[in-house]
Structure 1
Amino acid sequence: MRYKGKEEGVLLRKLQLIIKRGIDFLLSLVGLIVLSPIILVVSIMIYFKLGSPIFFIQDRPGKDGKVFKMLKFRTMLNSTDRDGNLLPNEQRYTKFGNFLRKTSVDELPELYNVLKGDMSLVGPRPLLVEYLPLYTKTQARRHEVRPGITGLAQVSGRNAISWEDKFNFDIKYVDKFNLILDIKIILLTVKKVFVQEGINFEKGIKNQKFKGEGVKK
């Protein structure tokens, strides 16, 4: 009986993941259509205020560690020194770029990644490819599901979150995943954005590169 109950739990999880993918596809498609005027206006503003390219494209690991191209709006200038090297981030920030980041508008193009199936609306944020060989077995479990535009870590800690806390939240999401949890995370995300708590999805630990420190198992 215990085995049967576990088997039913696995089947229920698989069913919810299938439904989750359908919801992701539908909402990302509707989102891209409804938000297309905003996306167009922001694209034009970026072109004139920050220059070309309009989008920031970077390799990120997705489900099972498979690498994909993540799409975001560019938020910094491409200013360089005499040798052609990019200036430090602090010297390339602009008020406009900071506004895009604070309001999370820079994340809108990721709806295309969700539509394609590279990402989900909710899941562990996709980190850098260079971190892949640094994960412990426990940390690597964050790749058992599709990465998300927002996630449990993002609505739980914002900028103050540490790497250890982040991974703990990511693994907790993987273990506790259900559609009700996804809905709660989406609602919390919307709330934080609209009450001027724009979620800095990746900026809270931007100056603290992950170096392979383990977390408690």
Structure 2
Amino acid sequence: MKHNSFYGKYIKRLLDLIFSGIGLIVLAPVFLIITVLVRLRLGAPVIFKQERPGKNEKIFLMYKYRTMNDTRDSSGKLLPDDERLTKFGKLLRSTSLDELPELWNIFKGDMSIVGPRPLLVEYLPLYNKEQRRRHLVRPGLTGLAQVNGRNTVSWADKFKFDNRYIETLSLFNDIKIIGKTMIKVFVREGISADDNITVQKFEGNK
């Protein structure tokens, strides 16, 4: 299988380490600006942390900038996501700036620059054998599914793209995905499905 190729086993991780390290240094001023803006507009904590399954289903903490406030109803319950997602939060998501802290996950080895996106831990028991293959490689900041519709494609198609990525893993394909990602981010395409402020939950195979 392609994920066991020389590139998949050795070169890919080395490139992740180099480029995420460079990104953390070069983008330090951007991190500082966004951190201050998030703190002023949305409050603390600035970083949203959530457990996600990584390679071989090992659980890790994924870091993102928070995009929602903590507004609650009269009973103290958090309001729905669409009511807590502010204009500033939408801007962070549409420009993918909310995902910049994931560079630290890549540097640490939890993630890769390119790979299947890390999904929720609660989905693990819902996968079939083919869908579970997405954990044969490190999850990515971007991936094949993200450049083919991102949050607007069906779950079935996302899993197909994930498996196709694993089967065709190569430096050339990673470069192509990174290039397409830059275009998608620039035009802010495929951020969310038309009827959902966030991606629709995976409810298993029916």
Q: Same fold (TM over 0.5)?
A: yes
Equivalent residue for 2:32? Answer: 40
- Matching residue within 124, 128, 131 for 1:136: 128
Query: Does structure 2 conserve the Cα–Cα contact (< 8 Å) formed by 1:104 and 1:198?
Result: no
Sequence identity, in percent? 53
Q: By how many angstroms is 1:211 displaced?
A: 1.3
Determine the C-alpha separation between the residues in 1 that align with 2:3 and 2:29.
Answer: 42
- Matching residue within 95, 99, 120 for 1:107: 99
Determine the C-alpha separation between the residues in 1 that align with 2:48 and 2:75.
Answer: 22
Determine the C-alpha separation between the residues in 2 that align with 1:193 and 1:15.
Answer: 26
Alignment: residue pair count: 203
Query: Cα deviation per residue 1:133-185 (whole Å; 9 max; x = unaligned)?
Result: 11000000000000000000000123320000000000110111111100000
Residues 63-72 or 184-193, more deviating: 184-193
Equivalent residue for 1:87? Answer: 79
TM-score, normalised to structure 2, is 0.93
Query: Cα deviation per residue 1:86-117 (whole Å; 9 max; x = unaligned)?
Result: 10111112111110000000000000000000
Equivalent residue for 1:76? Answer: 68
- Matching residue within 116, 121, 137 for 2:108: 116
Higher relative contact order (CA 8 A, sep 6+): 2
Determine the C-alpha separation between the residues in 1 that align with 2:100 and 2:156.
Answer: 28
Q: By how many angstroms is 1:209 displaced?
A: 1.4
* 1:30 correspondence with 2:22: yes
Change (3 A) 1:159 1:128: closer
Determine the C-alpha separation between the residues in 2 that align with 1:186 and 1:99.
Answer: 21
Determine the C-alpha separation between the residues in 1 that align with 2:62 and 2:3.
Answer: 30
* 1:98 correspondence with 2:98: no
Q: By how many angstroms is 1:84 displaced?
A: 2.0
Query: Does structure 2 conserve the Cα–Cα contact (< 8 Å) formed by 1:104 and 1:199?
Result: no
Change (3 A) 1:173 1:10: closer
Determine the C-alpha separation between the residues in 2 that align with 1:115 and 1:45.
Answer: 24
Q: By how many angstroms is 1:199 displaced?
A: 5.5
Query: Does structure 2 conserve the Cα–Cα contact (< 8 Å) formed by 1:80 and 1:86?
Result: yes
* 1:180 correspondence with 2:152: no
Determine the C-alpha separation between the residues in 2 that align with 1:15 and 1:50.
Answer: 41
Equivalent residue for 1:197? Answer: 188
What is the SS of the residue equivalent to 1:59?
A: strand
Query: Does structure 2 conserve the Cα–Cα contact (< 8 Å) formed by 1:47 and 1:53?
Result: yes
Query: Cα deviation per residue 1:33-68 (whole Å; 9 max; x = unaligned)?
Result: 000100111000000100111011000000000000
Query: Does structure 1 conserve the Cα–Cα contact (< 8 Å) formed by 2:151 and 2:199?
Result: no
Determine the C-alpha separation between the residues in 1 that align with 2:55 and 2:7.
Answer: 17
List runs of 5+ in structure 1 lacking aligned partners: 1-5
Determine the C-alpha separation between the residues in 2 that align with 1:208 and 1:197.
Answer: 19
Determine the C-alpha separation between the residues in 2 that align with 1:188 and 1:52.
Answer: 34
Determine the C-alpha separation between the residues in 1 that align with 2:115 and 2:3.
Answer: 19
TM-score, normalised to structure 1, is 0.88
Higher gyration radius (CA): 1
What is the SS of the residue equivalent to 1:97?
A: helix
Q: By how many angstroms is 1:10 displaced?
A: 8.0
